[in-house]
Structures are given as C-alpha cells and as structure tokens.
Structure 1
Amino acid sequence: MASTACLRLPFLPARTSSCSSRSHRVPRASSIKCCAAGAGTSSVSISSAASREGVGAVGADGLVGPPVPVPDSPAPAPASRDLHWLPRPLTSADLMDAGGEGLKVAYQGCPGAYSEAAAKKAYPNCQTVPCEHFDTAFKAVENWLADRAVLPLENSLGGSIHRNFDLLLRHRLHIVGEVRLAVRHCLLANPGVKIENLRSAMSHPQALAQCEYTLTEFGIEHREAVDDTAGAAKIVAEKMLQDTGAIASFLAAEIYGLNILAQNIQDDKDNVTRFMMLAREPIIPRTDKPFKTSIVFSLEEGPGQLFKALGVFALREINLTKIESRPHKKRPLRTADNNSTPLKHFDYLFYMDLEASMADPKTQNALGNLKVHILD
C-alpha cells in the first residue's frame, strides 16, 4: 500500500504584493459580497456607493419599491472595483478547456475522499493536492501551491458546510464553478473481516449520520468520528483493525487495500453534495449563459427588513435558489438595557443564491437597491 500524506501549512505566510504603491492595494469588501456563478462561477466584492438623499419610492430602473441609490452618472457602476487590481480575469473558455490539464487542484481530505472525486469531475485531467483542513486548501491556492480548490458547500441531507461559508469571507478567492457529486457510501473492512465481526464504524460525522439506519440493521453498535471518509479507511487499513469498518468510497477501498462488504449503504439514496470551484482570479460575468450569483449581507434591525431585501429581487423577477442565515461572528449579542425586556436577537449574516449574472443591469440595480437596507 502506497504511503499518502496531506498538505499541511502550519505557519505559511500570506502572499503579499511586490508593489508598494498605495494605489495598487486591493480595496476592502463592503457589506455585500457577491460570488457570480455560471458556466463557471466567479466571485467579486461589491463596493458600496453612497446614496443621494431625496430618492423616492421608484427605483433607478423604474420599479416601485424601497428607495434606491441613484448614481451620479447614468452609466451602470462596474461589477467590482476589485477587478482592476486582481490577476487576469478568467473567461468561460478558460473554465471549459481540456479538463484542467496541468492544473493543481486542492481538496480537503486524504486520497480517495469524495472531495477528490469532485475535483476529478470538475477537472478530469488535473493533479490533485490533498490538504489536511479546509483552511489549508484555501491557503494553498492563495500561496500558489495550487491553481484551484474544490470544496464542499452543501449536502442534500446534512445541509450547508458552514465552515467553508466562513472561510469564503476570510479569504480572497473567487468561486469560478460548481460541481455536484452523488455520494455512494460503502462499508469497508480489512481482508477476511465480515460484517458480523464488526462492532464499530469509523467515518466523517455526516457519513455516519447518513448511514445510521443501515449500520443499526447490520448490528454495528459503536460510531467513531474522524475528519474525513478516506482518512477512516486509511486508519482501518494501517492499524489492521479487525472489529472496525470504515464508511468511504469504492476508490478508498482500492487505494488502501480494503474489501467492500456493502455498497450504497446510505439511508437516503438521493445523497448529493454541491462543491464550489475556487481560483485566485475572478470570472468575467456574461449574459449569454446561465449564471448564478451568491451574496452575503447583514440587515439593519427592524420589522420588514428581510421582506424589503427579498423584494428588490422579486420586483425584477430574479429567482432565488437558496437563503440561509447565520449569527454574525464579528458583532456581539444584543442585550436589553434592563431586566424588564427579554434578551434581543443576534445580528445575522444572510447567504443568498440568485439565478442572475452580475453583467445584467437588473442584477446591479437590485444590489444597488439592497445597499439601502444593509448594515455597514
């Protein structure tokens, strides 16, 4: 069995620009961060423009709704000021080339992980780079140790992978594509071990949860959680465990020399994970192909604020495919001034996916309208 290792970057410094000119610094993102997806998926940061006073209830595009900031020039604002200082933007042709030949693609986990399968599906001819943690994969691309990263964003059973949502806000990588992978779990064990010999199952916590009913039917009582599915297979093989099986892919069985005792053991057969493809360079949004745009923002406190935020898209017939909220980590819990009023809520970040391109004027108008309501 070949020895495998994951990339570790414990003290890797952040990459700095060689230019000392102040005018070449990348501007900080404002309260709205957008990730536009399409034939590829790109991400850009939208810089807030100050709104002019006296704007009525009719938007800049003629739609009735909450007040809209009116630009000084009739020309639409650029999708992002960041684009002027980033490396050369990618085009759809860059993303649809010869299967990523020559690209190094980082993923989290050991060889044989589902994330590696997703990377190979996204870039069939790429060289995969296993990373110990999600953060390591982000840093590998930022520091030019890899060209792309393919990381999970959402599972049809387990929901969102919140860690990667948080890392998207901390790192300056751009979403340039999306790939979906059907997850087919297998029960793996060392040669000679049978299902009736197993007392414990080892895997990622989500994989264990997705196979709970089947494992119980097999009479496997104990569960042991590890960082990833392929890592579980590696541990079972290296330690020659006789009473513990791993839940992982058939590829992991081949890599680590394990037998497949059962296939498709997930309780729900429709088990799909959505992965994002990340790059240092953004993709240029277009209007001649279907695009998805992902945004994150926070709102001012008050009744109807979320309704107004959603309304700016509904009025322009922009379809929303996902909305989710998470407590804002950088804002403390709001408390009452006295004991007579109950504890107030957190400030929240709202994550939203739109079926729209940043190159479409109505999308830019909608985001301009949204900026009236966001919390800076």
Structure 2
Amino acid sequence: MAASHIWVSPLRPHSNVGVSDLGLRRCVDMRCNWDLERLPRWECCCLSVLAQRAITPVEDEKPLIPQVETSEAIDQVQDTQSRGFHKDLNLLPKPLSATDIFSSPRNSAKVRVAYQGMPGAYGEAAALKAYPKCETVPCEEFEAAFKAVELWLVDKAVLPIESSVGGSIHRNYDLLLRHRLHIVGEVQMVVNHCLLGLPGVQKEELKRVLSHPQMVAASGERDSGVIASDRAAEIYGLNILLEKIQDDDDNITRFLILAREPIIPGTDRPHKTSIVFTLEEGPGMLFKALAVFASRDINLTKIESRPQRKRPLRVVDDSNKGSARYFDYLFYIDFEASMAEPRAQHAMAHLQEFASFLRVLGCYATDSAL
C-alpha cells in the first residue's frame, strides 16, 4: 500500500486542546524528503491508504403487467399505477439514525458513502459524482454520517459545507473539529430544482406543492406536486413538469469528502488545503496570520470564524475600564496550495509561531467540474 503524509502542528502547553486533537506520531517512512531541518516544529505522520473496491448496483427489474380485456380490469390497473410508481418504496434505504449507528452491520465488500437526507437528495447526487459506482447510505443527520465513517460502517461521507445562496453550513464546520476525520476531496454541485408530478398529470392540475417526493409517490394524489431533483423523479417514478425553477440560476453547493485517513498530497494538479486555528489576544493578530499566506503568494479561497464552544468568552484586562469580555474564535481557512509544496510548509510553520492551536483538516485536489 502507498503511504500518505500530512503535516500537523504540535500543541503549546497553554492551549486548552488536548494532545489527542493533533494526533502526533513519529515518521516511520524514511522516504519523506521535505525540508525538516527548517521546520523543527513539525512532524510527518505516515498513514496507510485503505484499499477500496466499487461495485456497480444492479438496476431494478421492471414488473410485467399482464394483459387484461375488461374495462373494469383496465381501470384497476391504471389506478394501481397512479397510486404507486415505485413498486417497493419500503425497499429504499432508510436513513441511519444515532441508534442505528451502533447496531448496523458493515459490508466490507462494497465502497459505501454516507450522505445526509433521503434517496434522491442532492447529497446523494454529490456522492455519486465523487464515486459513480459506490453504494450510497442515507443518514438522518450530519453527525450520523460522521459517526458512520468513524465506526467503519461506511468508507466515506459526502457532506455540504457551503452554498452560493445560503452561505456556510455552520453545523458541519463545528463537526469537523469535534470528529477526527480528514477532508480528502470536494465536490461542487449545481442545484437544479424541478417541479415533479405523477405520470400523466399536467402542472395546471396541481393544487399544492410539497418538498418530499416519497410522500407524493406513495399517496398517489394527482393534485399534489413536489420540488426535488431530477434524480428524485427517476427514483420515485415521477415526471418532471418544470426544470430550473429556483430563483437563482447560479445555485451551487460545495460538498466535502471525509475519510478516516488522509490522502497523499501531490503537485500534479491544483490542490487545496483546509486548516483551523486559534490566535492569542492582541492587535493585528489576524492580520499577521493572513500575512503568512500573502507573503508567499498563496491565495485564500475561504475564511470562516466560529466561536469556541468550550471557551466562548475571553476576559481581557483594560487598565482604563476594567476587564472586558470578547468572543474567542476559531478560524477556518482554505488556501490554494498543496502541503507537498515548500511554500505551504513554510507558511504553516510561520503561522504556528503565534497560533495557540493549529490543525490541518485536509489537503486534497480541487474540484473545478460542475
């Protein structure tokens, strides 16, 4: 198997984050040829990349409808078709819940990718874009997907991190720090909201529109429509009445691919690195942090600040007005450089000099395909 390298920062004594948060280990791969002499504060962690196999799912067989002669029988068949276009909706995978996480068996023969939502959700489409032959596993909540990867129930998780319309998914930023998973890739998906209805129904017949395709397919109500993806129409046996009904045509959601182990950073294609850090109190500290990238011509593509949950407030003494309380923040940054590049290594070493906590969340290839 190939060995992978990722740079992590040691923890300073006064930090409130445990050593386990950084997962420090000695380098056992003597092939690591980065400039370690100039970066004494860094250690190289060598982690094995797990072998994976993908199995193409078998398409559902279409049930045969026997020929009928009487008009009564014809009406009966048409009524059956109008009420259930996916014959076995109950056979669709059920989303994993927090309880299921500790009881579900894992089939190691298939590449399994977790996502949040029901079959037909955009998260499932993102998983299939990243791994076209994977077995998708729906989860009720974002955290259930994180836990499914940690407990080896699935191999990867594909979860949204930001939207061009709605902004950042703050919940997943918090979960990235809480769980010990690594970002190994990203997927950008164009959101295409469609108006779906039962076969044979015209949009003028609709009296109400829902947001759950399974309800419309199961109930068979001809005056009910649904807003969902084109994949949902295929899964639940619905027809697309209108496409691209969203207000913003440039509605793009960015998803992160999470795994238990990091990947080998390369330089053969554009890479992105995601980090999180905290800073000491003082004037210009954030400016200094950003300057370590600007001075090395490294472009920042994302910066996000989140209050620390365990220590949300910081008390600062002020000789004129007594003590003051400020929010204590975590800073999440994405920058366009691979950790295999010396400029990225030196920037991280420089940042570590005045960051009280620093963690590399992942180094991965940039997704430019829409």
Structure 2 length-normalised TM: 0.66
Structure 2 residue 52 is the aligned partner of structure 1 residue 89: no
> Which of structures 1 and 2 has the bigger CA Rg?
2
Query: What pairs with 1:93-132 in structure 2 (closer than 5 Å)?
Result: 102-132=110-140
Matching residue of 1:355: 336
Shift of 1:280: 1.3
Structure 2 residue 279 is the aligned partner of structure 1 residue 305: no
Shift of 1:96: 12
- Quote the Cα distance in structure 1 between the aligned partners of 2:264 and 2:344: 15
Shift of 1:335: 6.1
- What code does the residue aligned with 1:117 have? A
Shift of 1:307: 0.6
- Quote the Cα distance in structure 1 between the aligned partners of 2:264 and 2:215: 43
8 Å Cα contact 1:334-1:345 kept in structure 2: yes
Matching residue of 2:240: 260
State the SS of the aligned residue for 1:179.
strand
**Cα-Cα RMSD:** 3.4
8 Å Cα contact 2:317-2:323 kept in structure 1: no
Q: Go from structure 1 to structure 2 and tell me whether the alpha carbon gap of 1:95 and 1:325 turns closer, same or farther (over 3 Å shift).
A: farther
- Quote the Cα distance in structure 2 between the aligned partners of 1:42 and 1:159: 32
- Quote the Cα distance in structure 2 between the aligned partners of 1:329 and 1:179: 28
Shift of 1:235: 2.7
Matching residue of 2:30: none
Number of residues of Structure 1 aligned to a counterpart in Structure 2: 280
Structure 2 residue 166 is the aligned partner of structure 1 residue 186: no
Matching residue of 1:74: 37
**Aligned partner (choices 22, 26, 47) of residue 10 of structure 2:** 47
Structure 2 residue 307 is the aligned partner of structure 1 residue 327: yes
Structure 2 residue 329 is the aligned partner of structure 1 residue 366: no
- Quote the Cα distance in structure 2 between the aligned partners of 1:241 and 1:43: 54
8 Å Cα contact 1:321-1:355 kept in structure 2: yes
- Quote the Cα distance in structure 1 between the aligned partners of 2:12 and 2:341: 18
8 Å Cα contact 1:237-1:258 kept in structure 2: yes
> Any gaps of 5 or more consecutive residues in structure 1?
1-40, 51-72, 204-231
- Quote the Cα distance in structure 1 between the aligned partners of 2:316 and 2:43: 39
Q: Go from structure 1 to structure 2 and tell me whether the alpha carbon gap of 1:189 and 1:344 turns closer, same or farther (over 3 Å shift).
A: farther
- What code does the residue aligned with 1:188 have? L
8 Å Cα contact 1:42-1:174 kept in structure 2: no
> Any gaps of 5 or more consecutive residues in structure 2?
14-35, 58-108, 358-370
8 Å Cα contact 2:54-2:111 kept in structure 1: no
Matching residue of 2:229: 249
Q: Go from structure 1 to structure 2 and tell me whether the alpha carbon gap of 1:289 and 1:251 turns closer, same or farther (over 3 Å shift).
A: closer
Whose relative contact order is higher, 1 or 2, with alpha carbons under 8 Å and at least 6 apart? Answer: 1
- Quote the Cα distance in structure 2 between the aligned partners of 1:99 and 1:311: 48
8 Å Cα contact 1:102-1:125 kept in structure 2: no
Structure 2 residue 181 is the aligned partner of structure 1 residue 173: yes
Q: Go from structure 1 to structure 2 and tell me whether the alpha carbon gap of 1:75 and 1:99 turns closer, same or farther (over 3 Å shift).
A: farther
- Quote the Cα distance in structure 1 between the aligned partners of 2:334 and 2:137: 29
Over the matched positions of the two proteins, sequence identity in percent amounts to 58
- Quote the Cα distance in structure 2 between the aligned partners of 1:109 and 1:199: 26
Shift of 1:240: 4.3
